[in-house]
Amino acid sequence: MDGNGRWARRRGLPRVEGHRKGAKVVQTITRACRRLGIEALTLYAFSQQNWNRPPEEVQALMELLGEYIIEERAEILENGIRLSAIGDLTKLPSWVREPLGKLMEESSQNNDMELCLALSYGGREEILRAVKIIAEKVCNGEVQTKDISQDMIEENLWTSHLPPLDFVIRTSGERRLSNFLLWQAAFAEYYFTNTLWPDFEKEELMEALHSYGVRERRYGLTSEQIRGSGVSGVD
């Protein structure tokens, strides 16, 4: 959700005002995804690297998250949304971690859409953690090296509860992955837009989804093979 800082700067506002507007857009886009029947939406709200931002900005972002959890609680519960989070949540202040954990628990039986917040998240950190968990199992004899598989790695990622990643939208003109869902993105489709996150509206979400819908996902196969098998983003 990139571009909050630039959005604010262009208006002569402090960066936090860009994040505040960004949080409103989170609500709009989550509602739109819920109505569209999207199975899972993961929002990159705070990276491991974001801890190195100026302390006032980190504090402001944590406060926004805390407010978001309180303000969106009813909407999440009433709309069948299951809230989850990926990342090193132990680093979050307890006044964010505890209400977040409570809302995750309260919404855990909901089934209409998964809303996953990537908080204190890093793709490399996630893979490293999975490697350590598996290495530990090898050391204590629970797993043999020859049995380590892609499935086993996936089971030990923070995202093990999520469906396969189909589509990533990156706003604000950046053309980088920035440590987001690195393993999961192996076969994902990307949509890069110059729109800053605070200006990202439902109309552009529809445009992005349309672009996804007409792509052919080949997973290394040929078009002919895909058309024959019916495996495609088109159908």
Which are the contacts of 123, defined by CB distance < 8 A and separation ≥ 6? 177, 179, 180, 181, 182, 183
Task: State yes or no: residue 66 binds ligand FPP (CB under 6 A).
Answer: no
Q: In one letter, which amino acid is 119? A: L
Task: State yes or no: residue 23 binds ligand FPP (CB under 6 A).
Answer: yes
Scanning residues 137 to 176, which ones bind ligand FPP (CB under 6 A)?
A: 172
| Contact residue for ligand FPP among 14, 31, 32, 50 (CB under 6 A) | 50
Task: State yes or no: residue 114 binds ligand FPP (CB under 6 A).
Answer: no
Task: State yes or no: residue 193 binds ligand FPP (CB under 6 A).
Answer: no
Give the other-Cβ count within 10 Å of 92's Cβ. 20
How would you label 17-26 residue by residue, b for 16+ Cβ within 10 Å and e otherwise? Answer: bbbbbbbebb
Is-catalytic flag, 194? no
| Contact residue for ligand FPP among 5, 66, 87, 123 (CB under 6 A) | 5
- Smallest gap from Cβ 127 to ligand FPP, in A, equals 21
**Residue span binding ligand FPP (CB under 6 A) among the ranges 43-51, 91-99, 154-162, 201-209:** 43-51
**Residue span binding ligand FPP (CB under 6 A) among the ranges 42-50, 85-93, 178-186, 218-226:** 42-50
**Residue span binding ligand FPP (CB under 6 A) among the ranges 19-27, 82-90, 182-190, 214-222:** 19-27
How would you label 189-213 residue by residue, b for 16+ Cβ within 10 Å and e otherwise? Answer: bebebebbbbbbeeebbeebbeebe
| Contact residue for ligand FPP among 29, 65, 103, 208 (CB under 6 A) | 65
Task: State yes or no: residue 6 binds ligand FPP (CB under 6 A).
Answer: yes
Is-catalytic flag, 2? yes
| Distances from the Cα of 132 to the Cα of 87, 146, 157, 171, angstroms | 15, 16, 11, 33
Task: State yes or no: residue 117 binds ligand FPP (CB under 6 A).
Answer: yes
* 3-class state of residue 162 by DSSP: coil
Task: State yes or no: residue 227 binds ligand FPP (CB under 6 A).
Answer: no
For residues 65 and 119, the answer to whether their CB atoms sit within 8 Å is yes
* 3-class state of residue 153 by DSSP: helix
* Interatomic CA distance for residues 83 and 76, integer angstroms: 8
Tokens found for residue 48: 């491991």
Task: State yes or no: residue 231 binds ligand FPP (CB under 6 A).
Answer: no
Residues taking part in catalysis? 2, 50
Binding site for ligand FPP (CB under 6 A): 1-6, 19, 22-23, 26, 43, 45, 50, 61, 64-65, 68, 117, 172
